[in-house]
Structure 1
Amino acid sequence: MIEVYFDGASAGNPGPSGAGIFIKGNGQPERYSIPLDEMSNHEAEFHAFILALEICLEKQFQTVSFRTDSELVNRSIEKEFVKSKQYKPLLERALLLTQQFHLFFLKWIPSSENKNADELARNAIRQASKKQKDMDH
């Protein structure tokens, strides 16, 4: 089974954000640091999840277990509901993607078990900040 750890991070709320995705169970571990636009931490978590789903579908993984330290994302997917209107389109997109797997699991884990994805998300913020500085000059 493929295990996917994901994390979204934001430097400020909102602020420059990044997604970190760590995939293991298919040979060599795969690491992704993906810079995101300015957004809140919760938005970054949802975007990281959606990107992780898309990567797994592109790679044609069919049995996938996702891990997150975001209680909001975990609860929203479990209940297929989110209170805040701003997260509704993100939740709907994520739910559509989850339906494309043969077996899909999402499990909440403490942040201490999500260090790889967290580090990757922070790297993505640094990439986004550097890119912004380069554009400003």
Structure 2
Amino acid sequence: MQLYTDAATEPTTDHSAAGLLLINAGQQQQFKQILPDCDNHTAEFLAAIAGFKEILTQFGPAQTVFFYTDSKIVAESVSKGYSKNFNVELQTLLQLQDQCTVAITQWIPESQNRGAHELAQQGLHLTP
């Protein structure tokens, strides 16, 4: 299964939203949700967390997940297993990934993450 996540943050208000694109057995599911007000880096971690929670809720832990993010800080933090500024979010994400049979994280350029990006932008317009 493939998971694409992205976050959008309104810079003046820190209003944030997540876009999740999940592809499983050729079926695509799209999700957008409001996140707590935060900076964009935190929102990127929260979007990834939301994506893995969605997978575990819908499909259970016995999954092989290819996780794609255009956030270098998320991808690098997962790779290193360390983040100085986002350690709480990283540890939550790693615990969720550990519940999957295999979780492979890969950074992709924003141009290859348009689906999740558009969903995150739409999420900014949801009302809480």
Q: Same fold (TM over 0.5)?
A: yes
Question: Which has the larger Rg?
Answer: 1
Residue 6 (structure 1) aligned with residue 2 (structure 2):
no
Residue 91 (structure 1) aligned with residue 90 (structure 2):
yes
Give the corresponding residue for 2:47. 48
Distance 1:116 1:66 in 2: 14
Deviations 1:24-80 (A, max 9, x none): 133431000111121100011000000001011112251110000000000000001
Please state whether the residue corresponding to 1:15 is helix, strand or coil: coil
Distance 1:11 1:26 in 2: 34
Paired amino acid for 1:67: Y
Give the corresponding residue for 1:109. 108
Residue 21 (structure 1) aligned with residue 2 (structure 2):
no
Paired amino acid for 1:76: S
Distance 1:21 1:115 in 2: 11
Q: Which has the higher helix share?
A: 1
Contact 1:13 1:41 in 2 (8 A): no
Distance 1:8 1:42 in 2: 8
- How far apart are residue 13 of structure 1 and its match? 6.0
CA RMSD of the aligned region, Å? 1.4
Distance 2:108 2:26 in 1: 23
Distance 2:91 2:13 in 1: 22
Mark the runs of 5 or more structure 2 residues left unpaired by the alignment. Answer: none
Q: Percent identity?
A: 33
Distance 1:27 1:108 in 2: 22
- How far apart are residue 88 of structure 1 and its match? 1.2
Give the corresponding residue for 2:64. 63
TM-score, L = length of structure 1: 0.87
TM-score, L = length of structure 2: 0.93
Moved over 3 A (4+): none
Residue 76 (structure 1) aligned with residue 77 (structure 2):
yes
Distance 2:54 2:28 in 1: 14
Distance 1:110 1:14 in 2: 26
Distance 2:88 2:13 in 1: 18
Distance 2:91 2:43 in 1: 15
